[in-house]
Each structure stands twice: as structure tokens, then as C-alpha cells.
Structure 1
Amino acid sequence: MSDKRHRIRVQGSWAKPLPKNSGATGAVSCNHQSKNAEPVPGSWGYGPQKTSKTFAFDQPTKPIRNVPPEKVIEQEGDYEISHGPSGLSRLRLLPGFLQPEEADWMFSKLLAELPWSQKTNFRQGEAYEEPRLTCWYGELPYTYAHSTMAANTQWHPLLLTLREAVEQVSGRSFNSLLCNLYRDGHDSISWHSDDEASLGAKPTIASLSLGDTRVFGLRKQPPPEENGDYTYVERIRIPLSHGTLLLMEGATQDDWQHQVAKEYHDRGPRINLTFRTIYPEPEGHRPGAKLRFTTTQQ
């Protein structure tokens, strides 16, 4: 009981009235300021008050743009992917161009018997090794990335057989072949177009894949007003599986770039055979120079 009475007395002491002012000597309560007292600047309810800022919505100077969704092509067929001043860009996808057992045997033979080597390229005067192995077949040398692959007329017999089969289905003739070996998922080829002047205008590239599946990516060249910004361009994704043939035709090399990006999960080796037609370097062009489309081209 004594504790209870003590608590009541303590609580009651909190409720005692404030002491009254005692004249001139009395202190002014903080809650009862004198009418003649100067207001304290910055105190609540006194002094100059800041007006609340009004927020106005300004229409953006540039329209809001959405990044186009990436398209995926997996089914056999002919695809018109763009049509512009440079012409019509076409793809033809043929999964199962080679039967699995046949493709298995060819992959093993080419992996073991082709003269694979690592090419050294140059970028802004700096040398770097390509993140893949290559070899070249053709009566003429081939220059890209400021580095030349020497002419090689000693075609492997299996490659001659494959060239004939690709020519029959495509209706085109090819006199050269660039072979690429991607040893694992870390091997790659960066964004580029096969638009060297030695390949001529509107080249057809026939790409035959053997081995593990890798994603072949394409992105459209941005219009001049984008100043080289690829953020809002169209993109296409094509998984290229064992025995698949892909044809790139028309203005594809003028209007699109392609790549095989690095992949950071387990990937086995893949061989890519890219059949093409090469011509002597045009007069006035240095080896490996790009053939740029202009509106005056026919």
C-alpha cells in the first residue's frame, strides 16, 4: 500500500498548476508569452514563414522511348528482317540441314584435322589475340581487323563436299571459307558486319554450325540521327544448333551487325563454317577496307 500511495503522490505532483507570474521580476512562461514580447525568429508560429514550394509538372523535352523486345527465330523458314534504302535484308534458317549422326562424324573429323590457329588482330594500333581459333580456304587472301589470312587452296575433302551441298540448297556459288572454332563458352566474336570491299556488294554468307549450340545475335544499325547509339535498335536472337545452316542475304551486312557472345555457363566446342565469295581488292581500296552503302549504290 505504501508503494501505491507513493506512486499517486508522484503522479499528482506532475499535475500541479504552474506558478503564477510575480510581477516584473517574474519569469515569463514559455507557454504564455507576453503580448509586448518580440517574437522569436524561426520559432513555431512566429517570424517570417517560408512558403511551401509548388511543384509543377514539365512535359519532357524528349519523347519517352521503349527498348524494342528482342525477337527470337528458331523455326525453319525464310525471314525478311528489314527493308530500307539499302534494300531488303533476309535470313533463311535450316535446322537439321545435316542429320545428327552425319554431323557428329563431320564435327569430330574437322576438329581433329583442320589447321586451327589463333589469329592476331589489331585495334587502334594495339594487337590482341582473337578469342577463338580459325583457318581460311580460298584462292585469295582475306583481310579483316587489319590482319590478313593467306590464300589457301588446299581444301580438306570434307569441306569440298559440304560446300557443294550448301551451294545446292542456297542456289549460290562460293569460292572461299572462313572456319571458326569456339573451344568453350568463353570464346566469342564481337559485333561486326561482313562488309569488307573484297566480299562485294550485298554478299551472301552461308553459316553452317557443328557442335554445341551457341546463340547468334543480330542488331540493326542505328539511323544517323542516333549517333551510333544502339539502345533502341531492333535485335534478333537465333540459337544455332548442331547441323543448322543459316543464310544471310540481301542488305543484311549493310543494315545489321552480328555476334556470338561469351557465355558463362558450361559450353562444349563448336565449329562454324562460313562460306562466302571473295573478289580481288577493288582498285583504290586498302585490304580489309569496309564497303559502306550509299544511296548512289545500285
Structure 2
Amino acid sequence: MAPTAPVARNVAPAGTRQAWMRKDQIHTQKQFVFEKPSEVERKVPDAGVIDKPGVYELSTLPTGISKIHLIPGFIDSEQADWIFEQLLQDIPWGQRTHIRQEISFEEPRLTSWYGELPYTYSRLTMQPNPNWHPLLTMLKERIEEFTGYTFNSLLCNLYRNEKDSVDWHSDDEPSLGKNPVIASLSFGATRTFEMRKKPSPEENGDYTYVERLRIPLDHGTLLMMEGATQEDWQHRVPKEYHSRDARINLTFRIIYPESEGT
């Protein structure tokens, strides 16, 4: 007869079977169940509103303290009416044209510049204009006396209606120096001034969850932006869906020759 093939068999002595084979342990072992990790739900924060006079510290970061000072009624209503009409007529308003990716478009507002030095923002330069309107000089001196700061330049903005606006930006050009002080004086229709905190490096430029503020700027209101506000925050005046009359905004600032500003 041909030899038969060897047959594998359990040669372990009775009672020494491996533990994982025991019936009394098969049912008592804890079964592994996969559970998807719970995601932390992030909510878009509601925008805060600042509409009362006072000094507000917005944030404190390694760059410094970001601070604003809101002074409604800095110019009383009757005087503000007269100033608004004079500036509307006398300032040489103009509209700048931008070119991006070979497409030209006009700024959705009118502007005018006053100062001994040029001012460059959004890649366009406004040429020096030392011929200050006497009314603007008076307003500059009144703000300087009130705040203790001195200013040598002024950017004027005319928002003709609700369709005019300025997009998110910071006034952080090199010619403004470190931690610039901006004095913003408003006349005419109330428009909402919005601010948003710049995201941390971990957010990779995502502004979805950052802190936001809304500040209505009324006729004759002065808003001071100080400290690290331009370093750590952005601001804008958005378009609005409801009809708005004209608004003039005067932003007094200190301009340095660019070699000094940097």
C-alpha cells in the first residue's frame, strides 16, 4: 500500500488549549466598535456694535493694544451742516481708476488728497497738494487740540450714495509709519463703519470666525484709530441696500518720507 499523507492534529495536552479559543472567554471579550470622532462645531460670531462715546480696547496682541476712540457730535449738527455743504462744493473731487489683471475699474467713491508728500495706496499714487482749504485747516487744528496729536496730511472721501463704498483694508502703508494714528471725521449721511480682526496664522487667511464690529458714523462724529489697530484689524464701508444721501469722510494722518516710515 502507498503511504498515506500525514494528517495534522492537535497534539496539545488536554486542558491546554489557547485562551482565545475558550468558549467562556469568547463571549466576555469587549467588542471593538468604531466611532467617528465628534467634530467641534464652530459658530460665526455675531458682530458687536459700538455706538456710545468712549475709548475701546479692541485687542491686545504681541504687536500691541488696538484701540479706538468714538466721539459722536464732535462737530455740532448746525455747524456740521454748513461744513458739509462747503466741502461738497469746494473740494476738487476726483475718481481714481485701478487696473487689475488688465481690467480697469473706477473706485466706487470720489477722493481728494492734501499734504506736502505724495500718498500711495492700492498701487496708485496721489500727488502732493499743499494748498489746504481754510476749512480743512481749521478742522485739522481743532482735532489736534482735542487729541494732542499732530497731522500733516488728509485723505478726503465722498460717498455719493449707497452704492459707493470702500473694501476691506488696513491703513498700513510704509509711509504711515508704525502704529499710525488715524483721525476720521464724518459729515452727511450715517454710514456703517465695519471692522474685523485679522485671523491668526493657524487660520491661513480665513476670516470666517474672526471678531467683527459695526460702528455707525453719524454727522459730525470723530473716530480715532490708534495703537496696533492697523496692524491687527481691517475696516471697510460697505455698500448698502437702502437709499443713502451723500457722506464726506475726512481721514487725517501723518505721512513720512518712505525711507523714514519704514
RMSD, aligned α-carbons? 1.6
Name 1:141's counterpart in structure 2: 118
3-state SS of paired residue (1:282): helix
CA contact (8 A) 1:122 1:145 kept: no
Q: Please give the alpha-carbon distance, in whole angstroms, between the structure 2 residues aligned to 1:172 and 1:127.
A: 38
Q: How does 1:117-266 map to 2 (within 5 A)?
A: 117-124=94-101, 126-266=103-243
The reply to whether residue 106 of structure 1 matches residue 73 of structure 2 is no
TM-score by length of 1: 0.75
3-state SS of paired residue (2:206): coil
Identity, in percent, stands at: 60
Deviation at 1:170, TM superposition (A): 1.3
Q: Please give the alpha-carbon distance, in whole angstroms, between the structure 1 residues aligned to 2:216 and 2:41.
A: 32
TM-score by length of 2: 0.85
Q: Please give the alpha-carbon distance, in whole angstroms, between the structure 2 residues aligned to 1:122 and 1:138.
A: 25
Q: What amino acid maps onto 1:109 in structure 2?
A: Q
Q: Deviations over 1:200-255 (max 9, x none)?
A: 00000000000000000000000011111000000000000000000000000000
Bigger relative CO (Cα 8 Å, ≥ 6 apart): 2
Q: Deviations over 1:138-192 (max 9, x none)?
A: 0001011111111000000000000001111111000000000000000000000
Any gaps of 5 or more consecutive residues in structure 1?
1-54, 286-290, 292-298
Q: How many residues align?
A: 230
Q: What amino acid maps onto 1:158 in structure 2?
A: L
Q: Deviations over 1:19-68 (max 9, x none)?
A: xxxxxxxxxxxxxxxxxxxxxxxxxxxxxxxxxxxx975223x4221222
The reply to whether residue 58 of structure 1 matches residue 36 of structure 2 is yes
Deviation at 1:136, TM superposition (A): 0.1
Q: Please give the alpha-carbon distance, in whole angstroms, between the structure 2 residues aligned to 1:157 and 1:210.
A: 17
The reply to whether residue 97 of structure 1 matches residue 74 of structure 2 is yes
Larger Rg: 1
In terms of fraction of residues, the more strand-rich structure is: 2
3-state SS of paired residue (2:258): coil
Moved over 3 A (4+): 122-126
